[in-house]
Structure 1
Amino acid sequence: MTVTDLVSTPRDAARELPQSMVERMTVILDAFEGRAARLSLEDVADYAGLPRSTVHRILHQLVGLDWIEHTASGYRLGRRALGLAGGDGGRSEIRAAAAPLLHQLHLQTGLVVHLTVLEGGDSVYLDKVGGRFATCVPSRVGGRAPAYATAGGKALLAGLSPENVDGLYSPRLRGCTDRTVGDLPALHQELNRIRRRSGLAFEHGESAPGVSCVGVAIRGYDGPVAGISLCGDTRSAPLDRVAPLVADAARTISRTLYPEHSDRRRPRSNARIPAGPPETTAPLVAARAG
């Protein structure tokens, strides 16, 4: 059940200038046809058939109540509307779009595959696919870990502004192992390295001893919406060679979830190879060349 179900308003009624506040809110929410919709103020006003100033005032109130979110790309459905519509804020849709790619990555690499979202300062695991090594990775669907300690989490954090990252953590960070980044300045340095590698994140024993991962963010209209990562034994996982596979999977999932956005941002054929850590750069170039 959605907010729009509370008052049934046919689309044609939008042009009849509804008088009550509930009617106006309903017809404005009806303008958003799903979680992917991004509308300008003018778009909403045109759909609703209401004065621009009226729509702006109502949208401002809806933003304050989390029914609508205002982003750089326009207005979109907010946490409350998505929660009522899908029960989980769109996570089921992300998981469904990613599921075939997660299994494909596992079959291609034999490594453990994670799908995560950012909740506060934590990575929450939406899915996990793996073979024998999966039991050695202390993660579970529905569980969580500090985002700064995981490859998928760091890829998500790298898509945020430094100010937003600062708002998630205290200056000192809780360590999962003796290799976990320990404070905010060190975390910002790591996130800058990830941005210079075009979003490719690595972690070696930072979330659990003996486990290494490579991760990339799945991007939406306004930034990262989920993280996808491959994990394996630190001693043998070929993260340098599988990194391009993770990046390709993330782009494919993004195109599935946001086809219009992806069409506008198709990668150029002469895109620069990300500059990875010293031990991974050469094999990564070789993998892409092959």
Structure 2
Amino acid sequence: MSERDYVQSIERGFAVLLAFDADRPTPTLAEVASATGLSRPAVRRILLTLQKLGYVAAQGTRWTLTPRVLTIGQHYAATHSFLETAQPHLLRLAEETQESASLAQLDGTDVVYVARVQVRRVMAISIDVGSRVPAHATSMGRVLTAWADASVVEAVLAAGLPRLAQRTITDPTAFRDALHKVRQDGYAVVESELEDGLLSAAVPVRTPDGAVLAALAYSTTVGRRTEEQIVEKVIPLMQQTAAAISVDLRLLSGTRRLDTQARDGFY
């Protein structure tokens, strides 16, 4: 892509939208400018444009996102029908294990939760659909990176492997070895790498042609399960669930239902 094909105003618009977060739920114009590095006049024009489009609203000197922002995520679900296909399988897995079940995909060097059934909160950070976590320190990231192109692995390594918990792998060679083990085993189990005490497992969900579409994940705490128990009792259930999702995707593909028709999803 050439520089003239790059629309900087769109980049700035998204930067302003992403400035709204848990730390800045209702920022002032000055706070948005500080968070984005944009000038106040530029931020003002962008906020007024987003206000006219219905994505933000003014509250005195502060700004807030409107529910219309949620439609962006809904459009993702509507154009990716595998999420609707996977949801009942996630519910069943959560019921069988009595722990949270998630589906995630890779976005750059992060993992993004695209579907989730939460039975209990096991992490200090709040996890919802759309939440992002570093790929290098999660079981989902290990699975997605293990079967990704070499360029993806290099991008993860280039971004750095910061220590997030006591057992986070920070050495590039050790990380490559971990990915090799995931490919050999067919699954990943990660303990205390994203957060101390967090124990998670993931298996690949494949498309009808065998490509890895997403990672199916299970999470608990070291006080509730051991790695050995997960490998013996939970991984087989996860692999059955992933296989069932793949079968449904194949059936839907055969009936030409994997299209972009709008559907309610699970929002």
Counting only pairs closer than 5 Å after superposition, residues 1-290 of structure 1 correspond to structure 2 as: 87-88=75-76, 92-134=80-122, 136=124, 138-170=126-158, 172-197=160-185, 199-220=186-207, 221=209, 223-237=211-225, 238-240=229-231, 241-259=233-251
For residues 144 and 187 of structure 1, do their structure 2 counterparts lie closer, same or farther at Cα, with a shift above 3 Å needed? same
For residues 164 and 134 of structure 1, do their structure 2 counterparts lie closer, same or farther at Cα, with a shift above 3 Å needed? closer
One-letter amino acid matched to 1:242: V
Are the counterparts in 2 of residues 110 and 130 from structure 1 also a CA contact under 8 Å?
A: no
Paired with 1:247 and 1:174, the residues of 2 have a C-alpha distance of 30
Aligned length in residues:
177
Paired with 1:227 and 1:202, the residues of 2 have a C-alpha distance of 12
Paired with 1:120 and 1:233, the residues of 2 have a C-alpha distance of 27
Paired with 2:90 and 2:250, the residues of 1 have a C-alpha distance of 18
1:161: Cα distance to partner? 3.4
Which residue is 2:49 aligned to?
none
Are the counterparts in 1 of residues 122 and 221 from structure 2 also a CA contact under 8 Å?
A: no
One-letter amino acid matched to 2:110: D
Q: Percent identity?
A: 26
1:261: Cα distance to partner? 8.8
Give the unaligned 5+ runs of structure 2: 1-73, 255-267
Give the unaligned 5+ runs of structure 1: 1-85, 263-290
What do residues 76-115 of structure 1 show as CA deviations (whole Å, max 9, x unaligned)? xxxxxxxxxx942876412111101111011101011111
Paired with 1:175 and 1:163, the residues of 2 have a C-alpha distance of 22
Root-mean-square deviation over aligned CA pairs: 2.6
TM-score, normalization by structure 2: 0.60
TM-score, normalization by structure 1: 0.55
What do residues 158-204 of structure 1 show as CA deviations (whole Å, max 9, x unaligned)? 1123343113431731222121111322211000001110x211000
Paired with 2:136 and 2:176, the residues of 1 have a C-alpha distance of 10
Paired with 1:200 and 1:187, the residues of 2 have a C-alpha distance of 15
Secondary structure of 2:81 counterpart: helix
For residues 161 and 257 of structure 1, do their structure 2 counterparts lie closer, same or farther at Cα, with a shift above 3 Å needed? same
Paired with 2:168 and 2:138, the residues of 1 have a C-alpha distance of 9
Paired with 1:138 and 1:217, the residues of 2 have a C-alpha distance of 24
Paired with 2:98 and 2:112, the residues of 1 have a C-alpha distance of 22
1:116: Cα distance to partner? 0.6
Are the counterparts in 1 of residues 189 and 201 from structure 2 also a CA contact under 8 Å?
A: yes
Paired with 1:260 and 1:131, the residues of 2 have a C-alpha distance of 29
Paired with 1:151 and 1:189, the residues of 2 have a C-alpha distance of 14
Paired with 1:175 and 1:90, the residues of 2 have a C-alpha distance of 36
1:135: Cα distance to partner? 6.0
Secondary structure of 1:208 counterpart: coil
For residues 253 and 205 of structure 1, do their structure 2 counterparts lie closer, same or farther at Cα, with a shift above 3 Å needed? same
Paired with 2:103 and 2:159, the residues of 1 have a C-alpha distance of 27
Report which structure shows greater RCO (CA 8 Å, sep ≥6).
2
Paired with 2:102 and 2:156, the residues of 1 have a C-alpha distance of 22
One-letter amino acid matched to 2:183: R
Are the counterparts in 1 of residues 77 and 83 from structure 2 also a CA contact under 8 Å?
A: no
Deviates more, 1:226-235 or 1:171-180: 171-180
1:150: Cα distance to partner? 1.1
Secondary structure of 1:258 counterpart: helix
